[in-house]
Amino acid sequence: PPRSTLFPYTTLFRSDTCGDATAVDRFALEGAALSISASGASATWGSTPVTTMGGSYRLCWCMILGPNSCVQPEEFRFDVGKFTLIGVYPHSQDRTCIAGQTCVFHGIEGQHLSTGDRYLVLDTCGTNTYVNSVVEWGNSVLSDAGSATVGWSDLELTAIGGQYRLCWCSVHFRCSLAEHFRVTFGSIDIVGPAPLVQDRT
């Protein structure tokens, strides 16, 4: 075919074998690269933030030979190599804290987590939905086993009881606004009264 019809197409899969895999969810375009340079030296997945689980994936390749090619996962048979995504996993690491007590929990797992990664309690990750009295981001300390202990200083929680989202931001990036904490990795139940104003006579 003429050169103009040969376009490399690369996507991520969460299987050990290309051609027998499942596309990655919560990744832009389900893992399919938006564009690849002519030399193949670089690929981009666009500007959509990646919020999928951290881990090790396979980078699989397919040559587009027509309008209906490179559509199904089994067409991506050529293994380009390993793709490592730094981040928390799994996405169901639920924790519980108690209003009126300090909030510290252990054993947060992920791929290449770092001491100093930031954690934030929000109603919805990636949005400006701060939870009253839990505005401060939690700092983390990494254990020898690679899991993280997360704490919100020595202050007691005075937040309204309820269920909120646990959100993560890598120490390698700017983590100064709630919008930077886009990755949800679980929920946190704050045991306590709700609402806080329940007057009686």
3-state SS string over the chain? CCHHHCEEEEEEECCCCCCCCCECCCCHHHHECCEECCCCCCEECCCCCCCCCCEEEEEEEEEECCCCCCCCHHHCCEEEEEEEECEECCCCCCEEEECCCCCEEEEECEECCCCCCEEEEECCCCCCCECCCCCCCEEEEECCCCCEEEECCCCCCCCCCEEEEEEEECCCCCCCCHHHCCEEEEEEEEECCCCCCCCCC
CA atoms of 104 and 50, how far apart (whole Å): 27
pLDDT tens digits, residue range 8-25? 555 656 566 787 767 777
**If pLDDT is split at 50, 70 and 90, which confidence band does 1 have?**
very low
Please name the amino acid found at residue 32: A
pLDDT on residue 146? 82
pLDDT of 7 higher than 60? no
pLDDT tens digits, residue range 115-154? 889 999 999 999 998 887 776 777 788 887 789 999 887 7
pLDDT on residue 36? 74
Phi, psi of 88 (to 5 degrees): -80, 145
Query: Tokens representing 134?
Result: 């839990």
- Evaluate whether 85 touches 24 at the Cβ level (below 8 Å): no
CA atoms of 131 and 138, how far apart (whole Å): 13
pLDDT tens digits, residue range 36-93? 776 666 778 778 888 888 988 888 888 777 778 777 778 888 888 888 989 999 989 9
pLDDT tens digits, residue range 164-180? 999 999 988 888 888 99
pLDDT tens digits, residue range 149-168? 998 877 788 888 999 999 99
Please name the amino acid found at residue 125: C
Mean pLDDT of the region 105-119: 91
CA atoms of 22 and 107, how far apart (whole Å): 28
Residue predicted with more confidence, 147 or 34? 147
**If pLDDT is split at 50, 70 and 90, which confidence band does 6 have?**
very low
pLDDT on residue 16? 64
pLDDT on residue 5? 36
CA atoms of 153 and 47, how far apart (whole Å): 34
